[in-house]
Structure 1
Amino acid sequence: MSEAWLDEIKWTDDGLVPVIAQEAGSGRVLMFAWMNRESLALTVREGRAVYWSRSRGKLWRKGEESGNVQRVKEMRLDCDNDVILLTIEQVGGIACHTGRHSCFYKIFDNGQWRSVDPVLLDPQQIYSKPS
């Protein structure tokens, strides 16, 4: 498959595009991340979300450590060609590194942010590697 479709995207000056991961079925927004050309092309090829980690400066296959993979069901580009929406199946039910279903677990309530979604699994259990 030609990758000319990548040229239609308006990349940021540092070669990234913002990506929203939305759960198929519920429609709930689970997370926000970034992709570069390589990670977006890999996402299409592999059928699973591959992001660009700005903090680590490398490709990040969602679930590579936790097992909580995001299987891509549909991919859309917004009207300005500068934001991607992934409709995904969240394997394992946990999208957030805090062990919650969604990264958007805080609600603004009476002048403060309050956590409203439970931790489904302790992050140390998700990310600790056996010695």
Structure 2
Amino acid sequence: MPTNAKWLNKVRWDEHGLVPVIAQEAASGDILMFAWMNREALARTAELGEAVYWSRSRKKLWHKGEESGHTQRVVEMRLDCDEDVVLLKIEQKGGIACHTGRHSCFYQRFNPEGEDWQAVDPVLQDPDTIYSAQKKSHE
């Protein structure tokens, strides 16, 4: 899919050529994660029907689940009213979106009494087993 497609031009990219993206589980409405996309990532997402993000730390495209196997099938893509945030409604393969082995990356809740963040959602699978099993399958 060309990265100069008309629909991509409607997105208001930031000064780094990125747009924030929210991944929401289509069935439950749970917000699973936040990430970034560049034009190529958004075009690839539309083409593949699976989420492809831009890794700012690795400075490369990141097909969600390429290491863990926990891919995100895109049910619907939406653009907010300011045209500067993308919402992906997705089906999360394996029920785990977070690299910590949890369903959602938003697993910490603020505790005003302790004035701290508290993990409130369980680890569904040990991250070491997720990523070591994937490495073994690629060997």
Note whether the superposition's TM-score is higher than 0.5. yes
Taking the TM superposition and a 5 Å limit, the aligned residue runs for 1:1-131 are 3-109=5-111, 110=113, 111-128=115-132, 129-130=135-136
TM-score under structure 2 length normalisation? 0.91
1:120 partner letter? L
Q: Distance in 1 between matches of 2:81 and 2:87?
A: 11
Q: Distance in 2 between matches of 1:13 and 1:123?
A: 34
1:43 partner letter? T
**Displacement of 1:69 after TM fit?**
0.4
Cα RMSD (Å) of the superposition?
A: 1.2
**What secondary structure sits across from 1:127 in the alignment?**
helix
Q: Distance in 2 between matches of 1:18 and 1:44?
A: 16
Deviations 1:51-88 (A, max 9, x none): 00001100000001111000000000000000000000
Show structure 1 runs of 5+ residues with no match. Answer: none
Equivalent residue pairs, number: 131
TM-score under structure 1 length normalisation? 0.97
